[in-house]
C-alpha cells in the first residue's frame, strides 16, 4: 500500500471516530435530557395492545335498541387500566375517549381482575342519578338497565401509556348511529357539578344555606333543598346559558306549599325556579327566559327581542303536585312553546303581561312567536333577580339541563323513566 493511501485511510478512520463520538454524546445527552425534563425516555418500554372499536347494539328495558361502544382487545401484553381495582397485572394504561361533540372523557374502570387479552370492554354513560353526562364507565360486562343515549357520530378511543406519555393506540373508532343528535349545552345538579357540553364546570355562587341531599333508590338523584326565605344560586353569565332560538328547560322539582287550585293567583305561592334576566321595576323587566311555579301551575315568561314586549304562557289547569317529584320541560321550538310535566303535554294560554293571568290573548292572530331576547345577566335558580319581588322557591331542585333545541316527547319520556334531565 502506498504511503499516501495509508495517510488517507488513517484520516478517514479518525473522522469516523469523531463522528461516532459526537453521535454517542448527543444520544447520551438526549436520554439525560428526557429524564430530567420529564419527557418520554427513549429507553422506556411500553406495552403492546392490538384492539378494535365498534358500535354494538343492546336492548333497553321495554325493548328499545341502543348502541354503545365496544372495545375488543385482540392481542396484548399484560396491562391494566389506571384506576382499576386490584388484582391488576402488567403496565398501567389510561383510556381516553373523544366524543363526536368534542368532549374528552376518561371512563371509570369497573373491570374484574385477570388478563384483558381476548375480552370485549364496553364504554357507556354512568346513568345513575349521582352522575352527570360527563361520567362514563368502561366495563367487561354488558350494561344493563336504562342508559343515557350516546351522541351520534364517530367516537375515538385512545389507549395511553401515562408513565411515558405515549399513545399506544389512536385509531380505534366506533360509529354510533342510534342515539341523540346533541346533548345539553349546560346541566348537572344545582349546588354540585354543573357543566358545559365540553364538561368544563360553570361558575356559580350559593346564597343562604341550601342543603345538598340524595333521593336514594330508585331515583339516586342528588338535589338541593331551598328554604323559601333566602336560599338561591347565581350562575355567572355564559354563552351556554343564553338562548335566542330554540330552547328546552329540563328540570326535576319537588315543591312545597303550592296552595290549593283556587289559591294559585296569590303571590304567596309564586316561586321562581330558573331564569336569566332582571326585574327592573313593577312594569319593566329584561328577561331572556324565566320559569316559575304559580301555585300548582307552570308559568314561563320572556321579552320579545324585536318589540321588547313582555309575554308569558301558563298552564290552564293544575299541573304540579307538592311534596313529590315532578319532571318539568319547557320547550321552545320554531317560536312555539310546549309544556310537559312527567312526560305529558299540558294545555296553556298566552298572556301579554308580567302579572300571572293578566291580559290573556284570545285572538289567534295576536299570538306571538317566541323570539327570546339576549341579555348579560346571571342565571338565577330559586329566586327571581329582584330585590322587591324575589319570589323565593321553597322545595327541592334536582337534575336540570338546558338545550338549544326542542326535546322530543320520546326523549322527555325516556328522561322521565331514567330520572335524568
CATH assignment of the domain containing 350: 2.60.120.200
Residue 150 lies in a domain: yes
Question: Tens digit of pLDDT for each residue in 311-333?
Answer: 999 999 999 999 999 999 999 99
Residue 353 lies in a domain: yes
Predicted pLDDT at 68: 92
Question: Tens digit of pLDDT for each residue in 166-207?
Answer: 888 767 899 999 877 778 899 988 877 788 887 788 999 999
Contact 196, 240 (CB under 8 A): yes
* Strongest mean pLDDT among 129-138, 141-150, 345-354: 345-354
Q: Are 70 and 124 found together in one domain?
A: yes
Predicted pLDDT at 150: 84
What cell does 25 get? 454524546
Provide the residue range defining the domain that includes 257.
186-418
List Cβ neighbours of 3 (8 Å cut-off, separation of 6 or more).
none
Residue 285 lies in a domain: yes
Residue 196 lies in a domain: yes
Residue 412 has pLDDT above 80, yes or no: yes
Residue 183 CA: distances (Å) to CA of 149, 198, 372: 9, 10, 21
- Whats the size of the chain, residue-wise? 421
Predicted pLDDT at 5: 45
Residue 28 lies in a domain: no
Residue 206 lies in a domain: yes
Q: Are 163 and 67 found together in one domain?
A: yes
Alpha-helical segments (H) within 274-357: none
Residue 90 has pLDDT above 70, yes or no: yes
The closest alpha carbon to 379, from 175, 178, 170, 196, belongs to 196
Predicted pLDDT at 173: 93
Q: Could you count the other beta carbons within 10 Å of the beta carbon of residue 175?
A: 14
Residue 383 has pLDDT above 70, yes or no: yes
Q: Are 146 and 248 found together in one domain?
A: no
Q: How many domains does the chain have?
A: 2
Integer Cα distance of 195 and 398 in angstroms: 15
Integer Cα distance of 99 and 96 in angstroms: 10
The pair phi, psi for residue 303, each rounded to 5°, is -110, 135
Predicted pLDDT at 170: 64
Predicted pLDDT at 44: 52
| pLDDT range class, residue 13, cuts 50, 70, 90 | low
Mean predicted confidence (pLDDT) in 29-33: 45
Question: Tens digit of pLDDT for each residue in 154-165?
Answer: 999 999 998 888
243-271: buried (b, 16+ CB within 10 Å) or exposed (e) per residue? Answer: beebbbbbbbbbbeebbeeeebbeeebbb
Predicted pLDDT at 11: 47
Integer Cα distance of 391 and 355 in angstroms: 13
Q: Are 120 and 194 found together in one domain?
A: no
Q: Are 92 and 202 found together in one domain?
A: no
Predicted pLDDT at 103: 83
Residue 98 lies in a domain: yes
Mean predicted confidence (pLDDT) in 356-376: 95
What cell does 283 get? 312594569
Mean predicted confidence (pLDDT) in 53-76: 88
What cell does 251 get? 328540570
Neighbouring-strand partners of residue 395: 226, 255
Residue 333 CA: distances (Å) to CA of 3, 304, 372, 389: 95, 15, 11, 30
What cell does 305 get? 327581542
Chain centre to alpha carbon of residue 54: 23
Residue 32 lies in a domain: no
What percent of the chain has pLDDT above 70?
A: 87
- Strands of 77-185, DSSP E: 79-81, 91-98, 104-105, 108-110, 120-125, 136-139, 153-161, 166-176
pTM for this predicted structure: 0.77
Question: Tens digit of pLDDT for each residue in 244-294?
Answer: 999 999 999 999 999 877 777 788 899 999 999 998 887 788 999 999 999
Integer Cα distance of 59 and 71 in angstroms: 18
Residue 32 has pLDDT above 60, yes or no: no
Mean predicted confidence (pLDDT) in 25-47: 50
Amino acid at each position: 500500500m502506498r504511503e499516501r493511501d495509508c495517510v488517507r485511510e488513517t484520516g478517514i478512520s479518525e473522522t469516523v471516530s469523531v463522528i461516532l463520538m459526537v453521535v454517542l454524546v448527543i444520544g447520551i445527552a438526549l436520554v439525560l435530557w428526557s429524564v430530567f425534563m420529564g419527557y418520554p425516555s427513549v429507553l422506556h418500554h411500553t406495552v403492546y395492545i392490538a384492539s378494535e372499536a365498534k358500535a354494538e347494539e343492546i336492548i333497553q328495558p321495554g325493548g328499545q335498541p341502543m348502541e354503545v361502544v365496544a372495545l375488543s382487545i385482540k392481542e396484548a401484553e399484560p396491562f391494566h387500566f389506571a384506576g382499576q381495582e386490584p388484582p391488576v397485572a402488567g403496565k398501567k394504561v389510561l383510556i381516553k375517549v373523544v366524543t363526536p361533540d368534542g368532549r374528552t372523557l376518561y371512563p371509570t374502570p369497573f373491570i374484574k381482575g385477570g388478563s384483558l387479552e381476548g375480552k370485549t370492554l364496553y364504554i357507556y354513560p354512568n346513568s345513575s342519578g349521582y352522575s352527570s353526562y360527563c361520567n362514563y364507565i368502561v366495563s367487561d360486562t354488558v350494561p344493563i338497565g336504562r342508559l343515557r343515549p350516546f351522541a351520534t357520530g364517530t367516537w375515538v378511543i385512545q389507549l395511553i401509556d401515562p408513565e411515558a406519555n405515549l399513545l399506544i393506540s389512536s385509531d380505534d373508532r366506533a360509529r354510533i348511529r342510534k342515539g341523540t343528535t346533541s346533548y345539553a349545552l349546560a346541566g348537572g345538579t344545582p349546588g354540585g357539578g354543573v357543566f358545559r357540553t365540553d364538561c368544563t364546570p360553570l361558575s356559580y355562587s350559593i346564597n343562604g344555606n341550601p342543603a345538598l341531599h340524595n333521593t336514594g333508590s330508585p331515583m339516586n338523584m342528588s338535589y338541593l333543598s331551598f328554604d323559601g326565605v333566602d336560599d338561591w344560586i347565581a350562575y355567572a353569565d355564559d354563552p351556554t346559558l343564553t338562548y335566542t332560538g330554540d330552547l328546552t328547560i329540563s328540570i326535576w322539582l319537588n315543591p312545597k306549599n303550592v296552595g290549593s287550585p283556587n289559591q294559585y293567583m296569590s303571590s304567596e305561592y309564586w316561586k321562581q325556579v330558573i331564569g336569566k334576566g332582571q326585574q327592573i321595576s313593577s312594569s319593566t323587566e329584561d328577561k331572556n327566559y324565566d320559569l316559575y311555579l304559580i301555585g300548582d301551575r307552570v308559568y314561563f315568561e320572556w321579552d320579545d327581542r324585536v318589540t321588547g314586549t313582555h309575554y308569558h304562557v301558563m298552564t290552564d289547569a293544575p299541573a304540579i303536585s307538592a311534596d313529590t317529584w315532578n319532571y318539568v320541560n319547557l320547550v321552545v321550538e320554531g317560536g312555539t312553546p310546549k309544556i310537559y310535566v312527567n312526560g305529558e303535554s299540558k294545555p296553556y294560554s298566552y298572556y301579554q303581561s308580567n302579572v300571572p293571568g293578566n291580559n290573556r290573548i284570545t285572538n289567534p292572530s295576536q299570538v306571538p312567536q317566541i323570539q327570546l331576547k339576549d341579555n348579560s345577566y346571571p342565571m338565577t335558580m330559586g329566586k327571581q333577580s329582584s330585590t322587591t319581588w324575589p319570589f323565593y322557591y321553597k322545595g327541592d331542585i334536582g337534575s336540570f339541563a338546558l338545550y338549544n333545541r326542542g326535546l322530543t316527547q320520546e326523549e322527555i319520556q325516556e328522561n322521565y323513566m331514567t330520572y335524568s334531565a
